[in-house]
Structure 1
Amino acid sequence: MRKIIHTLNAQSIKVKLLGLFLFLAGNLQACSDEETASMQVNTDVLYFGSSEETQELQIQSSGEWKVTVAKGGEWCHYHKKESAPSVLFVSVDANPTEKERLTRLVLSSGSAEKRVEIHQKAGSSSTLPTYPQVDSDLPLSSLTDEQGNILPDFSNIGYMGSEQEIPDVKVVETIEAPANGADATRLIQDVIDKVSQNSPTINGFKGAILLKKGRYHIAGTLSIKSAGIILRGEGENPQTGTVLIAAGKGQRSLIKFEGTGSSSPNSPTIFNIKDDYVPVGQFWVRVLNPASFQVGDEVTIYRPGTAQWISDLKMDQIPERTTGDPIVQWAPESYHLSYERTITHIIDDALHFDNPIMMAMETQYNKGAVFKSSFKGRINRCGVENILIESEYASETDEDHGWYAIEFSKVEQSWVRNITSRYFGNGLVNLNSGTRFVTVKDCKCLDAKSIITGGRRYSYNMNQAQQCLVINCEATEGRHDCVTGSKGVGPNAFVRVKIRNAHGDTGPHQRWNVGTLYDNIDSDNQINVQDRSNWGTGHGWAGANQVLWNCTAKEVCVQNPWVSAKNYSIGTKGNKSAGDFKNPVRPDGVWVKANTTVSPASLFEAQLELRKRTGRLYHN
């Protein structure tokens, strides 16, 4: 009996040991599975607008994976892409509520798990105008951030918002070139002054002045201070066309269009924007006093500068230099930004505008305002076309000669087209403060003559201009060829500009230029959107909400400011640069599909086509 019990105990021990072995082996295998299982998802959050929308998730997994949606997320759907099993389509139903919706996708493979939050903006009970984005292979909606900032619409810029072709204005006076190279300044100026006295036509033009082929030496500046005047030549060919020559000494603009006055008032009496945050790209703001406005009102959108904002940007901490001019730290009173807009709709308490918000309005840095304003004295419907404009010069580094071929100050709804400039110390065109809705088209700025240093060779310069367009142009021997000045506000755009033998970079030049599109810029040097720190007298953050689209350059830097804005490099081709200042390291910009051409080929032209097709036209 005792022997049988001993035998049973031994067998029982063997069974238990075998079970323990199998249990441990299973656990070891499970641990091994846990160690080898892996899963990667390209983002941990997706943001959707209030309407129906679809986005993609890119998923990398070491094994089969599955997905579930959290309880209450019945408005969120998903399915795998048949041709690419690693892609998950995520879609949302339109949000009928006035509250933001939130759910979560849970993706798992074995023991590996990833969670993706799904945010959807609130719907609205109002019938609002729609502002769709263009079709793209990105899609553009994927660039919408958690605060609702999107790539803004740049299309309502240039002469008549680029909705109409530049007209061929009727010739009312004709001038023949003087013989023997005599000075033509007085001859041309007298005709300009004569046409200035004409009554405008129904379209606002007083007439074109035709400068017949030949050479016109101009010792001074041709000044146009009246609306409706066009200077037209017979072509840019130096032998058979019209040639204007900036003769003799003196830094000056050869042709200057100049209005008067300023926008008034220039500051608000109340800060009436209701929302704590108004994102970039939005066409409307909600105000406390909607009854004070009417459709068609000209208004100013006002974003105040504050000490806290400048401190968060670190622009009160720009390092001093051991040589050169002293650094000017940014001061709040110098950074109040004003955007000119026209009211297109008023729905409940929301004012809708002809151009979007180009820099977010942030209550944390003080509330913004919208107020009625007017700009009396600005001239319009002016132009220069079909002329070769040259400057005399004494040497390659001569500084005492023609500086800009053409200058606009306080001018709107005007143009420069089919102009070639040569040998000027700075550039072809300077669009100054108070200028808006100007097109510079099919022009060439060639062979600048000056010292190669600061303040020179700005081929196409937007200096605090708004809603201006440079398109289908060229530049050689410049420094900053497509360039913007300090505190300019957009939208503005440079589209299809070819730059060769550049001695510097293209991009925003200094002190917080807002809302510029660089679309198909082709440069053999650099394109930079960066903190320029203590260059100059403290340029600091050069640009905010700048967009590079299908650009090409030798080297490219795109950085994001510390707060309040982003900068985008989309479809850019060229070596990526970390920038000129690396301590501390500045935040990287938003880079999408580097070294790959994205669709549409031109963002500006696609946005313009979409706006025309959907009937959002603002200029009669």
Structure 2
Amino acid sequence: MNRIPDFSYAGYKNSEVPIPNIPVVYTIKPIEGDNTNHIQKAIDSVGKMPLNEHGFRGTLLLKAGSYSVSGTIYIKYSGVVVRGEGDGENISKNTVINAIGNTPENRTILIAGGNKNYRLDDDWEWGSRSFITSDFVQVGSHEFEVENPSLYKKGDHIVIKHPCTQKWLEVNEWGVNNDKTKFWHEGELPIVYNRYIKKIEGNKITIDAPVFNHLDKSLSRSFIYKYNRKGLLTNIGIENLRIDIHTLGRNDIKNHAENAIALRQIEDAWVKNCTMLHFWKSGVVTETAFRISVIDTKALQPYGVVTGGQRYNFNASNYSQQILFYHCHASNSRHAYVSNGRSTVSGVAVVECTSTKSYTASEGHQKWSQGLLFDNLNEIETRSESEGGNRIMGFYNRGNWANGHGWSTVHSVLWNCNARGKAISVQKPPTGQNYAIGCFGVVSGKGPFKGPIGYIEGSNKKELYPKSLFKAQYRERTGKEFDVLKTYDTSF
């Protein structure tokens, strides 16, 4: 029943087209004093330009130099790219945004998208709901039958919703099952997927990307509806920037910006060749974000207390789906690469990324996120002791921690990952599975809370084939080799 799903749909436009190189249409240099409005006005100028046939307006180029920014910058237009000249320290050659001050508190420096964390299960077209009639839709499936296919056509954007029923909770809530720790309730934590329809044949609908959890009608009656996409923005890029968040020199208070970059209410977008420093929560956070590529980007030296809710360097938060982190690097994190949006997060692939001096694990974090892939994730340098009991990576039961995290993730894979002798914890949730294949470290089913051991194979053995699961799945699906760094398109 359980099987490894295809993760290769993660990324900009399901990684089926190259990230485009959009021509520069507006250029600015830094000015003395606060550059917040200076940059914002330039973005707004590009945002007023017409969309071309490919869905882009053009690129704003920030020339090399130091840009002091005391507020938040918004890319609130589809088809706009903001590009610097490099993400290094030298301001004569690179574009450095120096984020100063703490007004408003807990701010994000650069927000791309509609800037609202819409719930997919609240954003639907009335009269468009139809129940899924298939008795069982297996994880990894692209097809199912519906009650009323006449409501839909090829190309429609839909949401698939699997309600959280009492029957589903009874079979899946193992480990969070008494009055003190029971935080999962009927009607909460639905599983939802943002998809579009590729084909309709009779009652059968084919979607663009797989589901990452079983849809079992005996436990929950799933349904679909049209997603109205109100306020959702597309085709936005952030490139070649350095965001250095200034602190007041105290590590025990939040006296500086929370996040460097947020991708929020957005689809088909990217961050490429960027470096973020000294945030207290995230270098890049995605929320209500779909088909996003974060490429060759660094989230370094978070500054703040080493405690819950802080130092999530690359953070796939609420309603993050088909997110690709590729060739990225994190340092000094609590959770370097983390799914933190509960059951609304799925299809996140962390491929050929690195981390150094982590305090605890890169992981699925809470409440049944699905379909995470850690593929060749490498911990370069470990701490002698870690907050997580030397646990560096894991898909496991988090029991009654925090607000009752319970099962952190399901149908997720660690492939050819290296924890540098530290612990990798892989446990099997009810009705699902997690996998560790060809990984290096102390790989086991041990965790902070009891749970059945997950599927573990080939630990501490070299020459796993294929070396990358993501790339092998991509090759099998498309017939092409995956290398986003070499296929950067310059055709328009």
Q: From the superposition, tell whether residues 280 and 511 of structure 1 become closer, same or farther in structure 2 (CA, over 3 Å).
A: same
Aligned to 1:236: 87
Aligned to 1:279: 138
Query: What secondary structure does 1:469 align onto?
Result: strand
Matches within 5 A, 1:277-316: 277-314=136-173
Larger mean Cα displacement after TM superposition, 249-258 or 414-423: 249-258
Aligned to 1:82: none
Amino acid at match of 2:168: W
1:589 aligned residue (454, 457, 462): 454
Aligned to 2:435: 568
Q: Does 1:208 align with 2:59?
A: yes
Q: Does 1:545 align with 2:401?
A: no
Amino acid at match of 2:374: Y
Q: Tell me how far apart the structure 1 counterparts of residues 431 and 126 of structure 2 sit (CA, whole Å).
A: 21
Query: What secondary structure does 2:41 align onto?
Result: helix
Query: What secondary structure does 1:333 align onto?
Result: coil
Contact kept in structure 2, 1:262 and 1:376, CA below 8 Å? no
2:266 aligned residue (407, 411, 421): 411
Aligned to 1:30: none
Matches within 5 A, 1:302-451: 302-314=161-173, 317-318=176-177, 329-395=183-249, 397=251, 398-432=253-287, 434-451=288-305
2:427 aligned residue (550, 559, 562): 559
Amino acid at match of 1:437: R
Amino acid at match of 1:157: A
Larger mean Cα displacement after TM superposition, 413-422 or 387-396: 387-396
Q: Tell me how far apart the structure 1 counterparts of residues 179 and 247 of structure 2 sit (CA, whole Å).
A: 37
Contact kept in structure 1, 2:40 and 2:73, CA below 8 Å? yes
Contact kept in structure 1, 2:376 and 2:415, CA below 8 Å? yes
**Superposition deviation, residue 220 in structure 1:** 0.6
Q: Tell me how far apart the structure 2 counterparts of residues 614 and 244 of structure 1 sit (CA, whole Å).
A: 37
**Superposition deviation, residue 301 in structure 1:** 1.5
Q: Tell me how far apart the structure 2 counterparts of residues 360 and 384 of structure 1 sit (CA, whole Å).
A: 35
Q: From the superposition, tell whether residues 512 and 220 of structure 1 become closer, same or farther in structure 2 (CA, over 3 Å).
A: same
Matches within 5 A, 1:24-43: none
Query: What secondary structure does 2:273 align onto?
Result: strand
Contact kept in structure 1, 2:130 and 2:148, CA below 8 Å? no
Q: Tell me how far apart the structure 2 counterparts of residues 427 and 232 of structure 1 sit (CA, whole Å).
A: 21
**Superposition deviation, residue 256 in structure 1:** 0.6
Query: What secondary structure does 1:611 align onto?
Result: helix
Amino acid at match of 1:544: V
Q: From the superposition, tell whether residues 406 and 252 of structure 1 become closer, same or farther in structure 2 (CA, over 3 Å).
A: same
Contact kept in structure 2, 1:505 and 1:526, CA below 8 Å? yes
Q: Tell me how far apart the structure 2 counterparts of residues 320 and 333 of structure 1 sit (CA, whole Å).
A: 18
Contact kept in structure 2, 1:319 and 1:534, CA below 8 Å? no
TM-score, length basis structure 2: 0.88
Q: From the superposition, tell whether residues 155 and 223 of structure 1 become closer, same or farther in structure 2 (CA, over 3 Å).
A: same
Q: Does 1:522 align with 2:378?
A: yes
Question: Which structure shows the higher helix fraction?
Answer: 1
Q: Tell me how far apart the structure 2 counterparts of residues 423 and 338 of structure 1 sit (CA, whole Å).
A: 33
Q: From the superposition, tell whether residues 348 and 269 of structure 1 become closer, same or farther in structure 2 (CA, over 3 Å).
A: closer
**Superposition deviation, residue 598 in structure 1:** 2.2
Q: Identity over the aligned pairs, expressed in percent?
A: 32
Aligned to 1:253: 108
Aligned to 2:323: 468
Contact kept in structure 1, 2:125 and 2:226, CA below 8 Å? no
Contact kept in structure 1, 2:234 and 2:266, CA below 8 Å? yes
Cα deviations by residue, 1:493-513 (Å, 9 ceiling, x for unpaired): 111111100011101111111
Query: What secondary structure does 1:331 align onto?
Result: coil
TM-score, length basis structure 1: 0.70
Q: Tell me how far apart the structure 2 counterparts of residues 581 and 266 of structure 1 sit (CA, whole Å).
A: 43
Q: Tell me how far apart the structure 1 counterparts of residues 361 and 476 of structure 2 sit (CA, whole Å).
A: 32
In structure 2, runs of 5+ residues without a counterpart are 383-390, 482-492
Q: From the superposition, tell whether residues 214 and 269 of structure 1 become closer, same or farther in structure 2 (CA, over 3 Å).
A: closer
Query: What secondary structure does 1:595 align onto?
Result: coil
Cα deviations by residue, 1:199-237 (Å, 9 ceiling, x for unpaired): 111111111111111111100110121111111111112
Cα deviations by residue, 1:56-115 (Å, 9 ceiling, x for unpaired): xxxxxxxxxxxxxxxxxxxxxxxxxxxxxxxxxxxxxxxxxxxxxxxxxxxxxxxxxxxx
Contact kept in structure 2, 1:173 and 1:191, CA below 8 Å? yes
Aligned to 1:155: 8
**Superposition deviation, residue 395 in structure 1:** 2.0
Query: What secondary structure does 1:255 align onto?
Result: strand
Query: What secondary structure does 1:344 align onto?
Result: strand
Q: From the superposition, tell whether residues 271 and 290 of structure 1 become closer, same or farther in structure 2 (CA, over 3 Å).
A: closer
Q: Tell me how far apart the structure 2 counterparts of residues 234 and 265 of structure 1 sit (CA, whole Å).
A: 41
**Superposition deviation, residue 315 in structure 1:** 5.7
Larger mean Cα displacement after TM superposition, 346-355 or 211-220: 346-355
How well do the aligned residues superpose, as a CA RMSD in angstroms?
2.1
**Superposition deviation, residue 307 in structure 1:** 1.4
Q: Tell me how far apart the structure 1 counterparts of residues 177 and 301 of structure 2 sit (CA, whole Å).
A: 35
Query: What secondary structure does 1:365 align onto?
Result: coil
Matches within 5 A, 1:219-230: 219-230=70-81
Query: What secondary structure does 1:374 align onto?
Result: coil
- How many residue pairs get aligned? The number is 457
Cα deviations by residue, 1:463-512 (Å, 9 ceiling, x for unpaired): 12111111001111011011011123322211111110001110111111
**Superposition deviation, residue 576 in structure 1:** 2.2
Q: Tell me how far apart the structure 1 counterparts of residues 127 and 338 of structure 2 sit (CA, whole Å).
A: 30
Query: What secondary structure does 2:352 align onto?
Result: strand
Query: What secondary structure does 2:4 align onto?
Result: coil
**Superposition deviation, residue 269 in structure 1:** 7.3
Contact kept in structure 2, 1:358 and 1:489, CA below 8 Å? no
Aligned to 2:354: 498
Cα deviations by residue, 1:137-188 (Å, 9 ceiling, x for unpaired): xxxxxxxxxx3x3211111221121122211211111111124xx1111111
Cα deviations by residue, 1:522-560 (Å, 9 ceiling, x for unpaired): 124510111101111111111011111111112100111
Aligned to 1:117: none
Query: What secondary structure does 1:190 align onto?
Result: helix
1:191 aligned residue (35, 42, 59): 42
Aligned to 1:483: 338
Contact kept in structure 2, 1:531 and 1:559, CA below 8 Å? yes
Q: From the superposition, tell whether residues 453 and 413 of structure 1 become closer, same or farther in structure 2 (CA, over 3 Å).
A: same
Q: Does 1:580 align with 2:433?
A: no
Amino acid at match of 2:280: G
Aligned to 1:610: 476
Aligned to 1:64: none
Look at both structures and tell me which one has the larger radius of gyration over its CA atoms.
1
Contact kept in structure 1, 2:160 and 2:192, CA below 8 Å? yes
Amino acid at match of 2:359: H
Q: From the superposition, tell whether residues 489 and 190 of structure 1 become closer, same or farther in structure 2 (CA, over 3 Å).
A: same
Contact kept in structure 1, 2:131 and 2:147, CA below 8 Å? yes
1:599 aligned residue (446, 459, 465): 465
In structure 1, runs of 5+ residues without a counterpart are 1-146, 322-326, 616-620
